[in-house]
Amino acid sequence: MENKKPLLKVENLKKYFNIQGRQLKAVDNVSFELYKGETLGLVGESGCGKSTIGKTILRLHEPTDGKVIFDGVSVYDLSKNKMKDIRKKMQIIFQDPYSSLDPRMNVADIIGEALDIHQLVKGEARTARIKELLRLVGLNDDHLSRFAHEFSGGQRQRIGIARALAVEPDFIVCDEPISALDVSIQAQIVNLMKELQNRLGLTYLFIAHDLSMVRYISDRILVMYLGNMVELAESDTLSMKPLHPYTEVLLSAVPIPNPSIEQSRKRIIVEGEVPSPIDPPPICPFYGRCPKAMDICKGKKPLWKEVEPQHFVACHLY
Ligand code: SF4
């Protein structure tokens, strides 16, 4: 993959929020690349900065520092008008299908809105395109005139996906698209997203707070903690051979489908809450909760290192 040209390049991205004169470092120096047709899973507890990364890439938040290059274009250098053009290529699916769909609009209007904003099709062609999108996500023509409250959670997320696909994007930020759904429905939505990716050549940044479903959909996984990158590897490598103690904690929480192995699964419980990202000290962000912490960990922040090909980690153990 390293020889291919990336579709998306994120370089030293920082997003700080000013809270009464103090700095909340939501995203601190994050860099990664995403290749065409790839899914990168972005994982970590709530508050680790993963959704902020997705939104800052799309400029739903303005960055504090750093660069985002999409298809060779520097996104943060674009004017408002040019940004509108590139937004057609970069879309987002939101976490909560209940609140992300306007309850006053029917499905035709929800999906059609994106077509109208970008002036893509009108009249009968518009209706035909909306019907095509509904079929693409496993819904049908009868759903066209219904309102969001008439659908189940899974169906609403399908509408959210159709809305994102309306403008024929290349890249989609999937911001916890399955977290609000029942486990049985989560698998259906993940399968639909995989199928759409193969069919349409989509590239996903797939954000989630645990590793269970993300392992299934992602080619590579980036683990975040308190605004910092802590580990990045191919999905299988990360699952079989995690290096960072925090990745081990996340993996130990994933249920194993085989009941006899599941019985002996040992969950690693870490003490304490995630610390505040306001004015954090320059030490390992996981120090204080890490079961393997050493003296050096409270002295300096570990560097981001490639410890084996395509396997990166920030931890003083390596
Ligand atoms: Fe744990 Fe130290 Fe590694 Fe941080 S640097 S994850 S505290 S062992």
Residue 246 located in a structural domain: no
CATH number, position 223? 3.40.50.300
Q: What are phi and psi of 51, to 5 degrees?
A: -70, -35
DSSP code for 273: P
List the domain range (segments joined by +) for residue 28.
Answer: 8-89+169-241
Q: How confident is the model at residue 275 (pLDDT cuts 50, 70, 90)?
A: confident
- Give domain status of residue 112, yes or no: no
Atom of ligand 1 nearest to the CA of 298: 7
Q: Is residue 157 part of a domain?
A: no
Mean pLDDT, rounded, of the chain: 91
In this prediction, residue 18 carries a pLDDT of: 92
CA of 295 to the centre of ligand 1 (A): 9
Confidence of residue 101 (pLDDT cuts 50, 70, 90): confident
Q: Is residue 50 part of a domain?
A: yes
Number of domains observed in the structure of the chain: 1
User: pLDDT by residue (tens digit) across 12-35?
Assistant: 999 999 988 889 999 999 999 999
Separation of CA 286 and ligand 1 centre (Å): 6
Q: Indicate whether 1 pLDDT > 70.
A: no
- The set of residues, in sequence order, having a beta carbon less than 8 Å from that of 144 and lying 6+ positions away, is 106, 107, 108, 127, 130, 131, 134
Measuring CA to CA, which residue among 298, 278, 296 is closest to residue 288? 298
Q: Which residues line ligand 1 (CB under 6 A)?
A: 244-245, 284, 286-287, 290, 292-294, 297, 302, 315-317
The pair phi, psi for residue 224, each rounded to 5°, is -115, 145
Give Rg (Cα) of the chain. Answer: 20
Residue with CA closest to ligand 1 atom 8: 293
Report yes or no on 98 lying in a domain: no
- The Cα-based distances of 50 to 14, 40, 44, 218, 241 in angstroms read 12, 12, 7, 15, 23
Edge-to-edge strand order for the sheet containing 311-313?
90-93, 171-175, 203-208, 39-43, 220-225, 228-234, 311-313, 305-308
Q: Is residue 106 part of a domain?
A: no
For residue 179, being part of any structural domain is answered with: yes
* Mutation to probe ligand 1, out of 223, 224, 270, 284 (largest number of atoms < 8 A from CB): 284
What pLDDT is recorded for position 132?
96
**Contact, 106 vs 144, CB < 8 A?**
yes
Residue 145 lies in a domain: no
Say whether 206 sits in a helix, a strand or coil: strand
